[in-house]
Amino acid sequence: MFDPSLFVEIRKRAGNEVFDSLNVELIQSVSKKEDQKHNRKGTDKTNNAPKNKGKMQADATVADQYITYPTDNGILNQSRKQCEKFIDKLYDLSGKEGQKPRTYRRKMDKAYLDYSKKKKKREATYLKMTRKLLECINRDIKQINNMLDVFESKGSRFPLNHSEQRMFWIINTAYTQQKLMYVTKTHSCTDRIVSIFQPHVRPIPRGKTKAQIEFGSKLGVSLDKGFARINTFSWDAYHEGDDLMKQVESYKELHGHYPELVQVDKIYATRENRMWLAERNIRITAVPLGRRKGKETETYYQKQKRRKEAAERNHIEGKFGQGENGYNLNEIRARLKNTSESCVACIFFIMNLILYEKGCIFDSILESINSTGIKIMERVAHLMMRFIPKQAYLNRKLKVDYLLR
């Protein structure tokens, strides 16, 4: 029997590692013969290893989760409403004995609605609303703990299920963080929770014009012959320059040799990375350190080559744009941590699969043209001439005849 939850189980089991192995198979199927030929051809005299060959692009991006833009008071208000639901459930399970604990939900709903409708919120208004929400959550947490103690004293079964216990723990953690930031008058803390429904999501500073901070998973991606691999999948912010060595070693493990050129952003060009690449005779698209020598001048060929290599780094930016515009890489709608990782990894695998399919179709077209001969090209050219006016046809007839010789 086919069950609707089957896809959920597949997403939980097929994570980043499974899709990365599939990406490796795709890359090997394209470059295996060429790599074997190159590795047998000759070795470097210095280290008795295959010569460096190929180019590798690397960069980092953020796969944004599809969540409400987090604000401190918004998180507190969501926590307050969840606590009120717990109080309602515990009171019903207790048989509605005694007086129901007060939550002042109507007053708080009206106060928060008035606060949220204000276009310009002064700092005093913001702090006043924060204080009210913190007081409400603190009172609700104490009441929930007291009601749970009553169930324990009676020897009854614990009334909250696993997901509700997890949510109550998340609310306690979020309240502690918000209370700390309110007292210390700061807006950041370690392992800050930005969504009580997805507590694994963290704020990641990116420094972009449209968004200084993004909320999702940070990916360290390398591009090899147009195929993308996720080398680092992290839910916490980190320095992407530390990924370079691991990405280059992954390239060697896949191809059997190091790349000749590494095309990366300036943030990857640290002293440690430069020294590590220089020891392996790997070039990097970065300006050399130190003062430039005035006597050395670049030739026209060297200048064009340097500009071309620097511009080729944009290929990986285009890959990110393809994922965001075509496959919603910037709006991951999965809620669980492992299913979100599966969705992100699946997007990159699909893009690689489409690239692989295009290459196969192009090869089949070339084979068909070689098998049927040049007559197909002649027929296509003469059919195209029918749609061109007579004067243009007479002007281009000689060119077409020359090309078909």
Biggest CA-to-CA distance, the chain: 100
Q: What is residue 361's predicted lDDT score, i.e. its pLDDT?
A: 58
> 190 in a domain, yes or no?
no
pLDDT greater than 50 at residue 391: no
392 in the same domain as 375: yes
For residue 197, being part of any structural domain is answered with no
Average pLDDT over residues 247-264: 92
**Class of residue 141 by CB neighbours under 10 A (exposed 0-12, middle 13-18, buried 19+):** middle
Residue 194 within a domain: no
Coil, strand or helix at 176:
helix
pLDDT for position 379: 52
Q: 144, 93 in Cβ contact below 8 A? A: no
Q: What is the mean pLDDT of residues 215-220?
A: 94
- pLDDT surpasses 60 at 365: no
Range of the domain at 176: 72-184
Domain identity same for 21 and 96:
no
Q: Is the confidence at residue 380, as pLDDT, over 80?
A: no
CB atoms within 10 A of CB 99: 7
With respect to residue 136, please indicate whether it lies within any of the assigned structural domains. Answer: yes
Question: Is 336 part of a structural domain of the chain?
Answer: yes
**Are 85 and 60 found together in one domain?**
no
pLDDT at 399: 45
Q: How confident is the model at residue 397 (pLDDT cuts 50, 70, 90)?
A: very low
Contact 343, 334 (CB under 8 A): yes
Total domains in the fold of the chain: 3
Q: Looking at the chain, how many residues does it have?
A: 405
Q: Are the CB atoms for 173 and 184 separated by under 8 Å?
A: no
Task: Examine residue 146 and state whether it is found in any structural domain, yes or no.
Answer: yes
Domain final residue pick, 158, 184, 210: 184
Flag whether 380 is in a domain. Answer: yes
Question: Which residue would you say has higher pLDDT here, 301 or 229?
Answer: 229
Per-residue tokens: 177: 């963080």
Say whether both 120 and 162 belong to one domain. Answer: yes
- Both 307 and 389 in one domain: the answer is no
The verdict on residue 15 lying in a domain is yes
